Chains A and B, each alone.
Chain A
Amino acid sequence: MRAVAFLAAAAVMLTGLWACSEPAAEEELVVYTSRNDHLIKPVFDAYTESTGVKIRYITDNAAALTARLQAEGERSPADMLITVDAGNLWNAADKDLLQPLESPVLAANVPAELTDPENRWFGLTVRARTLVYSTDRVDPAALSSYEALAEPEWKGRLCLRTSKKVYNQSLVATMIQRLGEEKTEEIVRGWVANLATDVFSNDTALMEAIVAGQCDVGIVNTYYFGRMKQDNPQLPLSLFWANQQSSGVHVNISGAGITRHAPHPQKARDLLEWMSQPQAQKLLADRNMEYPVNAAVEPAEEVASWGEFTSDDLNVSVAGALQVDAVKLMDRAGYR
């Protein structure tokens, strides 16, 4: 008896729930984004304010969102995918989840090396991954390139973040493209041999270790450095632009593409083009201390103060195409 009552109550509850989880309204754009709430909401709010178009979005990591797009197929409510790291965008395009878009606006605003060669995704912001060093213990003249960190002079002085982080996978992927597998593996082994301590799970902890004296040099994304310096400008820590005599600094993007089965492709296109223009570029880049992709837009003052640099001009899609190779290479080299 009680059980029947239980089940009846459960059934009533479920029906109620069904009713209150309404699908997106017809005219709203739907975005899946791994760019998180506090960074993306101001951008969407500004768009809604200037155009009246409402945006619904769901945040999660790129792999989960990609799996979701794949499972939903042509019934997906999503119009756009926004993620960080070119590898994730490459993967979504590779699984045929994004559609190509010929847009003169985007072509003008987004450099070709930060765009999918088949125009299925476009960079929105740029982050550089470069060297960071202790100004107390390292003479910047001793620094040159990512490759040079494998030299014996850095033994016990290097800190790295885990190879499970996609930023390191992308860096190694471009090295494979430039130097070949054999040479790259040799360098990665050199890095591992030079490690001062276990690899870190985030860039901030890595820089704290440099400040504390556990190691002298590391590889980080610029915005993590920016955040630390903002909180504490006196830190004896500085960026060094790597590979200026050779391939240039490794850069990665946050970017977006229109989904293959977007219910509102035209509206999605309008949003994507708007995001490549100055107002949105400032919002997208400055809040996370990244560089705008649009060359006509100045980076934030703080970001500009780190100096100019030459970046690697390989198309960032290489990071995706060679990511699997990079992961395997790092596993072989014992880089955890």
Chain B
Amino acid sequence: MRTRGALSASGASVLLLALLVLVPIVVLLAAWQQEQWATWQHLLDTVLWRLVGNTLFLMVGVTAGVLLLGVSLAWCVATLEFPGRRWLQWALLLPMAMPAYVLAFVMVDLLDYAGPVQTFLRQWLPALDFSARHPLWVVITLSLVLYPYVYMLARLAFEAQGRAVLEQARILGDTASSAFFRVALPMARPGIAAGLALALMETLADFGAVSIFNFDTFTTAIYKSWYGLFNLQAAAQLASLLLLFVVVALWLERRGRSRARYSEIGGRQTLRSRPRLAWGVTLFAFAVLFLAFLLPVSRLLYWVIDNGLMQVDARFLNLIWRTFLLGTMAAVLVLTLAGWLAWVKRHQPSPSVSVAVRLATLGYALPGSVLAVGIMISFSAVEGWLADLGLGIVLVSTLAALLLAYVVRFMAVGFGPVENALQQVRPSLVEAARTLGASSAEVGRRVYVPMMLPGLLTALLLVGIDVMKEMPATLLLRPFGWDTLAVRIYELTAEGEWQRAAAPALTLVLLGLIPVMVLTRRRAERLNSPRN
């Protein structure tokens, strides 16, 4: 039996955890103490409104893009039968392993005036001249790498609905399309909203991809203030405004989720209908996969071969190992903490706990390097206090600092799936197990673990992939010797040597494939197992 005292202790621990995540953000907010009016005035007079407009355009565009691709593909895979469905259903997750900045570079390289596509087409259309750095291409590129978030979560939702619900809607007189819009889509809304929120936060924080397109967003203003105007304070002020966007996005997501609690009805049936244009569906899915994954990977491969094959020496292997190690450690850590947050939120629901949980997931939309500076400054301050007390402990550029950065940044990615997984375990189920005399250890082993495993695994792999792709925080906070593939990509691209960066980029994509493969294999096993 739990006592009230123990409960509030766990509540306090959640608060503490939220505070830990909040410290670097608070450090950023502290930048408002010094007014930077001159910089603000300049930005307001010249570029700021255009940048805000561009950012809104990008948000709307990416929302449309990821919903269009993610939901339609999820729907097709979940409810239709078409040639190649078995392998496309997991292959469509592959673009997740593709860093946005890599796809952006490949896109510009292929499609710009001097690139192979236009050069080839000009043989017949000499007047052809379009820019691959048009805003629309930015939207397309980001949508292509970010749709898997929506696809994955929406597909889970559609598959969980089962056929029964839709068939009942049809019996009650709905057409196929109205059944989709009136029944299936609203029921899948929590999953779709969660995926969309992740995609939008990634979009807000992105700097690499947009700067390759030279598309100026709000993030551009942040970096312009910092790098160009040497004003880190103003940059931090601007960055903290991004948090407002996040708060709104999260609020919308929670609203979408809290209306009702959906749990699956009846068993999961894999009965799928075969549409008349089955091959059309295959073609569509393949086209998306081709553009988002196969094309960029073959381009990278071409460069790697063109440069005289990869030099796989001990240093390169070390990069791979460090990348993998960081991804794994950070994923386990985030998962542990997210699990704890979700657990306390479920068992001791109170306003302060839910606020704390929400705060703990704020870091995802901050540009990584700004967040990293916040973490560095706070660690440095703590180090200074400890030094004053006579304790010479190094904090900055330790693995601990780097892992904290990952926790702050990727908590949102891990928390969503973990919370959803926990919600799958209905309280009645636990009570039933208890009534039947199961000990708490047994309930854990036989109820929680099997039911939550898919969700936990999803969280683990999502965070792992994100950490391996992460660049700016890793650059700033890594301990000596902890270079990763993303670090090497940065170094080469900073000198404009994109072609030489193809080797680490391709390796990073391949490394990211391992978690994606594990994820899809697990799901396939689960769907084929008799338990369902």
Contact = CB atoms under 8 A, between A and B. Distances in A.
A332 B329 CA distance: 47
Interface residues of A, number: 65
B269 interface: no
B269 to A, nearest CB: 33
Given A1-B441, A73-B380, A198-B131, A6 B480 contact: no
A222 to B, nearest CB: 13
Contacts of B112: 205, 208-209
Contact of A60 (B46, B214, B476): B476
Interface in A4-26: 6-7, 9-10, 13-14, 17-18, 20-21, 23-24
Interface string A161-195: 01010100100000000000000000000000000
A289 to B, nearest CB: 11
A24 B397 CA distance: 11
B336 A197 contact: no
Interface stretch (A31-39, A139-147, A278-286, A291-299): A31-39
Contacts of B438: none
B332 interface: yes
Given A2-B444, A17-B329, A68-B476, A201 B211 contact: yes
Nearest to A201: B214
Given A64-B476, A212-B119, A323-B230, A205 B42 contact: no
Interface string A312-336: 0000000000011001100110001
B487 A59 contact: yes
- Identify which of B226, B377, B476, B487 gathers the most chain A CB atoms within 10 Å of its CB: B476
B224 interface: yes
A199 B475 contact: no
A21 B399 contact: yes
A223 to B, nearest CB: 9
A91 interface: yes
B475 A64 contact: yes
Given A71-B377, A331-B47, A60 B383 contact: no
Interface string B205-231: 000000111101000100110111110
Contact of B333 (A13, A327, A328): A13
B108 interface: yes
A43 interface: no
Contacts of A327: 224, 228-229
Given A37-B488, A64-B373, A201-B214, A20 B399 contact: yes
Contact of A214 (B113, B475, B480): B113
A3 B340 contact: yes
Contacts of B45: 332
A72 interface: yes
A201 B399 contact: no
A209 B119 CA distance: 11
B57 interface: no
A48 interface: no
A13 B332 contact: yes
B273 interface: no
A6 B211 contact: no
A164 B220 contact: yes
Contacts of A39: 495
Interface string B370-410: 00110011001001100100000010111110010000000
A202 interface: yes
Contacts of B380: 71-73, 75
B2 to A, nearest CB: 11
B478 interface: yes
Interface string B71-94: 000000000000000000000000
Contacts of B344: 3
B129 A204 contact: no
Interface string A98-131: 0000000000000000000000000000000000
Contacts of B339: 3, 6
A53 interface: no
Nearest to A161: B214
A61 B369 CA distance: 11
Contact of B491 (A38, A208, A211): A38
B466 interface: no
B448 interface: yes
A234 B210 CA distance: 33
B494 interface: yes
Contacts of B220: 164
A91 B226 CA distance: 11
B479 interface: yes
A27 to B, nearest CB: 15
A187 B212 CA distance: 26
Given A37-B491, A68-B396, A58 B480 contact: yes
B214 A24 contact: no
Given A10-B336, A73-B380, A1 B213 contact: no
Interface of B: 10, 42, 45-47, 108-109, 112-114, 119, 129, 131, 133, 211-214, 216, 220, 223-224, 226-230, 232, 329, 332-333, 336-337, 339-340, 343-344, 369, 372-373, 376-377, 380, 383-384, 387, 394, 396-400, 403, 440-441, 444, 448, 472, 475-476, 478-481, 483, 487-488, 491-492, 494-498
Given A37-B491, A63-B227, A197-B113, 6 more contacts: A20-B399, A38-B492, A56-B481, A59-B475, A68-B476, A164-B223
Which 9 A-B pairs have CB atoms at the shortest separation, nearest pair first? A212-B114, A36-B491, A208-B114, A331-B46, A71-B380, A327-B228, A17-B399, A214-B113, A21-B479
6 contacts: A9-B336, A17-B399, A21-B397, A164-B220, A198-B133, A201-B212
